[in-house]
Structure 1
Amino acid sequence: MIVNETKNSINGIKSSFPIVLGYLPIGFAYGILGTKSGFSILQVVALSLFVYAGSAQFIAISLLSSGTDIITLIMTIFIVNLRHFLYSTSLSQYMKRINRKHIPILSFFITDETYAVSITDLKENNEYNEKYFYQLFFMSYTTWVISSFIGAMFGSFLNGSVNIGLDFALPAMYIALLLMQISGYRKVFISIFSGLLSISLMYILPGNINVIVSAVIGAGIGGLIDIWTKNS
């Protein structure tokens, strides 16, 4: 069933503003890194168009520039992006209200940031349809591609030794998105616990598996706390 648009419907364009503001410096930084690593502007932008995964793109640029073989590259990016299975599972309960023909298209545009914003909106407002997702996802996607292109253009004119100090941009946006979703002592506890667990596992588990493991354990504990609270 598709909900008819009402005056109270969620505005995807408005909801995309925090993502757009975050993507501008990060996409710009990615574009500069790409061209400084020896890739052409077309190659840098093509990754944004067809991969559209910020952390995976940064990793791909780094690995490809160091001569890593294609199998290692694919496996590394696959592990890094395993968290998207969790995102899809979480959003699936809301996608049931949307015509199934839209699902394959919208699925491509799920990122850390679009998931964080959309899941927050959907929990607070029940008035939404596929238009909301298209607005939110396409605004974010377009911003990422354009900022990547501008960064690549700018990077092609930079001296290789220049460092413009945009390393803070990605962690800063993740912290801002996390704070948007935290409300109540239980979410604060789960957030701190999951973060500390991820840092601890980082020294034990290979790659980025620590993120997946800590997220699953944190979600499990959060579910148990909810069940215990409802039954008490």
Structure 2
Amino acid sequence: MRAGQAMRRILQSCLPYRGLRRAQADVRLRPTMKEIISVNLTIRHHDQLPLALFRQGVIACLPTILGFWSIGFAAGAIGSLAGFSVLNITLLAVFLYAGSAQFMFYSLHAAGAGVLGIILGVMLINMRYVLMSSYMAIYFTKASSLEKFVSGALLTDETFGVAAQHGNRTGELPFAWMLGLNVTAWLNWIVANLAGALLAASLPKPITQGLSFSLVAMFIGLLLMTWFGSRHRLLETVAIAISVAVIAATSQTLDVNIGVLVATVGAATVATLLVRRNLAGKGEQ
């Protein structure tokens, strides 16, 4: 009798513990709010028509429009000051479609660089898109070759940031959404370049001749803004000093295009070695 009562007491004492374990298991099985939002967005993407996804991509691009207009307007104006026609500037915005590469194109052309030097310079400055496209490839494993080509060809720094954030949040990037994002940015870039070129072309020649320094001044300003905002000023100062030294040493013996490329590769190599050495030193500590 006493043994039976003791057994019942033990079982009753275990019931709250069993209930607690069951409640903990239920909590672990419950999805988090982030998982619920991701699943809902994914289901919504699958249920929506391509036109609706395209419209969402257009809306996602709207916060970046001001940046495209400010830089594109400056690119078109500087292209006109560099001696290019409005048609040439528009075609360059359509097919090259890269702000930093277009600025480099204008500066190298104004400096008298050859075709090979301009091509290599543009390719070098656009190498970052290889890394961006490689990251975006995880969302296009089931896409066709044409969809991959269009999405990669219209990718920019701004659209990459918007698309990467959207992909991380939803787990996918529908082609129609990506097309709406990219086409909106592309068209605004073209219109901004055209507007800047038209304004600069309408200025009197005495004014445009007085603004011939604007291209060099713009690059100096961009360099200083990047340098002041960097956390690796010493490393970047070393890279700049190496570039200047190489160009000065090769200016009398090598073509200016080859000298610029040698200086760029040399400075980047030394900076990379210094970064690896710094990381290795921190790892040993």
TM-score by length of 1: 0.71
Deviation at 1:129, TM superposition (A): 0.7
Identical residues among aligned pairs (%): 24
- Please provide the CA RMSD for this pair: 3.7
Q: Secondary structure at the match of 2:46?
A: coil
Q: What CA deviation, in whole Å up to 9, does each residue of 1:189-222 have, x standing for no partner?
A: xx976787556544446338749x76xx79xx8x
Q: Which has the higher contact order (CA 8 A, sep 6+)?
A: 1
Deviation at 1:145, TM superposition (A): 0.3
Contact 1:5/1:128 (CA < 8 Å) preserved in 2?
A: no
Q: What CA deviation, in whole Å up to 9, does each residue of 1:125-177 have, x standing for no partner?
A: 22541011101100000000000001000010222125899959x96xx99xx
Structure having the higher Rg: 2
Contact 1:6/1:127 (CA < 8 Å) preserved in 2?
A: no
Looking at structure 2, the residues matched to 61 and 164 of structure 1 have their Cα atoms a distance apart, in angstroms, of: 12
Structure 1 spans left out of the alignment, 5+ residues: 176-190, 226-232
Specify which of 107, 111, 118 is matched with residue 62 of structure 1. 107
Contact 1:80/1:207 (CA < 8 Å) preserved in 2?
A: no
Contact 1:9/1:127 (CA < 8 Å) preserved in 2?
A: no
Which amino acid in structure 2 is aligned with residue 19 of structure 1?
T
Deviation at 1:5, TM superposition (A): 4.3
Q: 1:167 to 1:117 in 2, by over 3 A?
A: farther
Q: Secondary structure at the match of 1:16?
A: helix
**Alignment of 1:92 onto 2:137:** yes
Residue in structure 2 matched with residue 207 of structure 1 by the alignment: 264
Q: What CA deviation, in whole Å up to 9, does each residue of 1:7-44 have, x standing for no partner?
A: 99792112212321101011111111011111100011
Structural mapping, 1:43-58, within 5 Å: 43-58=88-103
Residue in structure 2 matched with residue 182 of structure 1 by the alignment: none
* Structure 1 or 2: more helix by fraction: 2
Q: Secondary structure at the match of 2:84?
A: coil
Looking at structure 1, the residues matched to 198 and 133 of structure 2 have their Cα atoms a distance apart, in angstroms, of: 34
Which amino acid in structure 2 is aligned with residue 207 of structure 1?
T
Contact 2:78/2:214 (CA < 8 Å) preserved in 1?
A: no
Deviation at 1:66, TM superposition (A): 2.3
Which amino acid in structure 2 is aligned with residue 98 of structure 1?
A
Structural mapping, 1:193-232, within 5 Å: 200-204=238-242, 206-207=263-264, 210=268
The number of residues matched between the two structures is 198
Deviation at 1:78, TM superposition (A): 1.2
Q: Secondary structure at the match of 1:147?
A: helix
Specify which of 44, 60, 63 is matched with residue 18 of structure 1. 63
Specify which of 46, 68, 71 is matched with residue 4 of structure 1. 46
Structure 2 spans left out of the alignment, 5+ residues: 1-44, 244-262
